[in-house]
Amino acid sequence: MNSLPQQRTCYDDEDEGHVIKHKRVRGGALMLAVAVGVMGGGLPGTAAATTAGTTAARSTHTADDARLRALMHRLTTADGAPGALVATRDGRGSSVLTSGVADVGSRASVRGDSRFRIGSMTKPFVATVVLQLVGQGRVDLDAPVERYLPGVVRGHGNDGRVITVRMLLQHTSGLPDYLDHLDPRDILGDPLAHHDTRDLVNLALAHPPTFEETGAKPGSEWHYSNTNYLLAGMLIEKVTGHAYGEEIRRRVIEPLGLHDTSVPGDATSIPGPHPRGYVRPGEDAPLVDITAFNPSVAGASGEMISSGADLNRFLDALVRGKLLRPAQLKEMMTTRPTGGDDDRAYGLGLESRTLRCGGGLYWGHGGDVFGYQTAGGATADGRQATVMTNVDPGGPDAQDDDMESAVQTGLCQGRPAHSR
């Protein structure tokens, strides 16, 4: 089925009951001595292919389709990603366009049903569960974190007694990002190692708040920190008595039938069809294969696995009110500027951006994790687009721009001329 039943809701379960958003390293700044295979050789030319759902009615000869093909070609040539995939979906059907290769050794093509590590695209799933708990009266958005995780957020000026649940979800807590204090070479040198969530939180809390230099208080400034979502995952476990991944499975994955989506925990492999994931240690360095990787270092901030089709279905259900009650969806979509030079604004685990073709906003998130990058979004009128590549870090700055353009182009396909 290509659309969710309109009467279906998944937020009324009353039962009681781990992108990394990693900074991409450019040029030769990340010189890795790692115990994983190094893959040499150049990338092949791209041969894009389209597969369409049985109800798809879009023409393959539209201007938007040509733009999307050109962007996919750029991602796997100029930007240097081995492979890329973009999945689009609207009221008429769904389609998948792929480019490049899933494996630089075998030169196997990227499959349309491939699964990728999705990094910080995990955050909207986590925020959805927290907001479902808010809707059930089990969590108060404006209560201090201390209420749910007593004594956890303390030290060096970080204080869970003045940081609220809302601040965690919106990245206004001021908590330092634990990833700023991890050496990527240590992770890549032992990619199968387990990382304890509490240890990662404590690593962050050994440093002062990000607002210390400005004297600002929690809640007053926006600063992206993966530590916030590690804590949100811990909060879910404390309130429900179940691991956050189990709650995502029960509340989101199963009701929506997301068969390609999982929360792997310590599992180091990707189930089902998937491209190999790569890191580029330096501008002219050969690719490093990082497919086998323990995502516990990302935890609730970015460990999940999914496909383009599943992410489109999830984003559609979320944006159109199938997962959250109206009050909680409104809270999620109440945004604040991120302070960048674009129009991005951040709500509670969900970002908004303006559609370049007109027609208002789209809602989504991005995700970076070792080996993979994802970006996706959905509109309130039932359009979704997700783009995925199998290199990170190591792509040029243009890769981010081209992925954003691919999402925008996918969402704008087939819109009437007056809205463009």
Residue 397, helix vs strand vs coil: helix
Question: How far is Cα 336 from Cα 353, in angstroms, rounded to an integer?
Answer: 12
The answer to whether the beta carbons of residues 332 and 135 sit under 8 Å apart is no
> Is there a catalytic annotation at residue 120?
yes
Residue 15, helix vs strand vs coil: coil
Cis peptide before 184, with omega less than 30 degrees from 0? no
Give, for 400, the enclosing helix (H) or strand (E): helix 397-412
Question: How far is Cα 375 from Cα 22, in angstroms, rounded to an integer?
Answer: 14
Cα within 13 Å of Cα(364), Cβ side:
29
The answer to whether the beta carbons of residues 160 and 212 sit under 8 Å apart is no
The encoded tokens of residue 119 equal 């990094």
Dihedral of CA atoms 348, 353, 354, 355 in degrees, nearest 10, equals -120
Q: Which of 120, 262, 301, 306 is catalytic?
A: 120
The encoded tokens of residue 179 equal 């990833």
- Catalytic positions, please? 120
